[in-house]
A and B are shown apart, each in its own frame.
Chain A
Amino acid sequence: MSHRTSPVIPGFGLTLGYTISYLALIVLIPLGAMLIYSLQMTAEQWWSLISSRQVLFSLKLSFGTALFAALLNGVLGTVLAWVLVRYRFPGRRIIDAMVDMPFALPTAVAGIALTSLYAPNGLIGSLFPFKIAYTPLGITLALVFVTLPFVVRTLQPVLADIPKEIEEAATCLGARPLQVFRHVLLPSLLPAWVTGFALAFARGVGEYGSVVFIAGNIPLKTEILPLLIVSKLDQYDYKGATGIGVLMLAVSFVLLLLINLLQRRLQPQN
């Protein structure tokens, strides 16, 4: 391994060695151990586990709710980011600071609060004739809360960087507001939007604490993928838990690569 430019800067060996050792100890060896453990299963065993009715259902539920929540946040988050960047109005600073609340609030607290809110006798739940908590809709709403900051926080800096003059020029040249949005703003916002969407989706698929309360955990109705791992572990079905864990790990690794790729495409614009 060679290192660049300034031979006067010390600490390359020390910091690289420390970084790799700590990374290996905490992250790589445990994750690797799970992969090795999963090899105790044959491919057919793994496949029959993944394609069992229960796992397939949870897979669809986790991906579906995470997808809907990310899409919903794609809209809500865009509105929030737009308003926070473009307008000055009373309460702007408070909203801006509170957008990070879902990151700072422990997920268990969010979970019980949202369950009370959307339960049939809750503040919002009682307003609707149909059940929200203990249904996929409730899971989606919990994920909306947890992943809202992702879209807002990835869009905000990009929006702030688009010079207003470009929009004004487009307007002067006769573009209508929707045309300005479609042809001027959208192309520059899209990479950031997709990044925020992917971050929200990745978090939503793996989310546990905020969902486990509102889901109600009814098998084949509201049992999410992470919960399936927990219930397999509770039954000492280590292989089953590992099989699902490997699947989730693969999904999150693919999403991570995608996000990194997108962020690299974002950088030249910043």
Chain B
Amino acid sequence: MSIASATLAKDSAVRASVQRTPAALILIGLAWIIFAVVLLLPLYIVVTQGLQRGLDVFWNAISEPDAISALKLTLLATGISVPLNLVFGVAAAWCVTKFEFRGKSLLITLIDMPFSVSPVVAGLIYVLLFGSQGVFAPFLQAHDLQIVYAVPGIVLATIFVTFPFVARELIPLMEEQGTTEEEAARLLGANGWQMFWHVTLPNVKWALIYGVVLCTARAMGEFGAVSVVSGHIRGMTNTLPLHIEILYNEYNIVAAFSVAILLLAMALVILLLRQWSESRLSRSLVRDDE
């Protein structure tokens, strides 16, 4: 037996013996219990409660007009806020990572700000600006415009709570990649957009997708901020999470959980996409290292 394979065998033997120590087994068991009780049981409840009266009841709950209009509004708010925050994320990451300037760390802190603001406060600030006692109230009334308690308010609140997601994923990666590849592209005669499309974008592709996935999940599921600015008008300013709240407060538990199944399915898709983009991201990082 060669020395290398001998050490390898010894190594795996050591690792196996470490894994079978009572402490390791107890910890693994504990992790399974935490996983089952904290993470899995709530999902089990959603599915069983939503389907307890059968598929017909489930189907009726998710296909009634109010649910459909809530779904449409959710998709609209997501469809507007995600692209806007995507463009912002790329621009912010670009200026923060490719250039050095004063006040940079303050800028990064401010970009992160919406993460630490309570969703209810996020809704409140738009009510104070555009509500009936708000700063812009006279202007809005004069032009017969409605922002809060209408669709624009919901879109604004969604943009606010999902604001940093893309920027946050891009900044650390682009910081690490530096500027050498872009400089090379420029010196070889590429113009700014060519450099961006052919050099920068391929380098950050997976982090970008990851950020968009996280942003989409939060945009579709946001409750607190949207709840404050929505006014809860059925069929008008109701998103799917708000629809769930209304059904639940009307003791229409089965319907509430039926709609919840829809959002749970979305969350599972998001997790799968996340897993996929993250594995691609780490693979491309490993390739870069070689």
A208 to B226, CA, bound (A): 11
Do B23 and A177 have beta carbons less than 8 Å apart?
yes
Do A208 and B128 have beta carbons less than 8 Å apart?
no
Judged by a CB distance under 8 angstroms, whether A186 is at the interface is no
Judged by a CB distance under 8 angstroms, whether B220 is at the interface is yes
Ordered by A's residue number, 20 sampled pairs between the chains whose C-beta atoms are within 8 Å are: A9-B98, A12-B101, A16-B95, A19-B96, A27-B113, A30-B129, A31-B125, A37-B135, A79-B34, A82-B27, A88-B19, A104-B270, A108-B223, A108-B245, A148-B39, A207-B224, A208-B119, A225-B118, A229-B121, A238-B131
Do B95 and A15 have beta carbons less than 8 Å apart?
yes
Interface of A, secondary structure class, is helix
Judged by a CB distance under 8 angstroms, whether A213 is at the interface is yes
Judged by a CB distance under 8 angstroms, whether A219 is at the interface is no
Judged by a CB distance under 8 angstroms, whether B204 is at the interface is no
Do A226 and B95 have beta carbons less than 8 Å apart?
no
Segment with Cβ contacts to A, from B1-9, B60-68, B102-110, B138-146:
B102-110
Judged by a CB distance under 8 angstroms, whether B99 is at the interface is yes
Residue of B nearest to A234 (CB): B228
Residue from B91, B248, B253 having most chain A Cβ neighbours under 10 A: B91
Instruction: Choose from B31, B119, B271 the contact partner of A101 (Cβ within 8 Å).
Output: B271
Do B117 and A252 have beta carbons less than 8 Å apart?
yes
Number of interface residues of B (CB under 8 A): 96
Interface string of B233-276 (1 = CB under 8 A from A): 00000001110110010000100110010011001101100110
Instruction: Choose from B45, B224, B275 the contact partner of A107 (Cβ within 8 Å).
Output: B224
* Closest 3 pairs between A and B when the two form their complex, measured CB to CB: A206-B118, A106-B221, A209-B223
A-side residues, CB < 8 A to B, are: 1-6, 8-12, 14-16, 18-20, 22-23, 26-31, 33-34, 37, 76, 79-80, 82-84, 86-89, 91, 95, 97-114, 116-117, 122-124, 144-145, 148, 177, 202, 205-209, 213, 225-227, 229-230, 233, 236, 238, 241-242, 245, 248-249, 252-253, 255-257, 259-260
Contact A109 to B46, CB < 8 A, known contacts A206-B119, A226-B119: yes
Within the complex, the shortest CB–CB distance from B110 to chain A, in Å, comes to 6
Judged by a CB distance under 8 angstroms, whether B111 is at the interface is yes
Interface string of B44-72 (1 = CB under 8 A from A): 01100100000000000000000000000
B24 cross-chain contacts in A, Cβ below 8 A: 86-87
Residue of A nearest to B49 (CB): A116
* Docked complex: B167-218 residues within 8 A CB-CB of A: 179, 182-183, 186-187, 192, 195-196, 214, 217-218
B102 cross-chain contacts in A, Cβ below 8 A: 1-2
Do A114 and B94 have beta carbons less than 8 Å apart?
no
Instruction: Choose from A5, A33, A226 the contact partner of B120 (Cβ within 8 Å).
Output: A226
A123 to B41, CA, bound (A): 9
Residue of B nearest to A12 (CB): B99
A177 cross-chain contacts in B, Cβ below 8 A: 23
Do A213 and B248 have beta carbons less than 8 Å apart?
yes
Judged by a CB distance under 8 angstroms, whether B13 is at the interface is no
Query: Given contacts A83-B27, A112-B248, could you give 13 more A-B pairs where the C-beta distance is less than 8 Å?
Result: A4-B99, A4-B101, A8-B182, A15-B95, A30-B128, A34-B124, A95-B35, A101-B39, A116-B253, A124-B37, A226-B121, A238-B127, A238-B133
A168 to B48, CA, bound (A): 48
A36 to B95, CA, bound (A): 30
Residue of B nearest to A93 (CB): B275
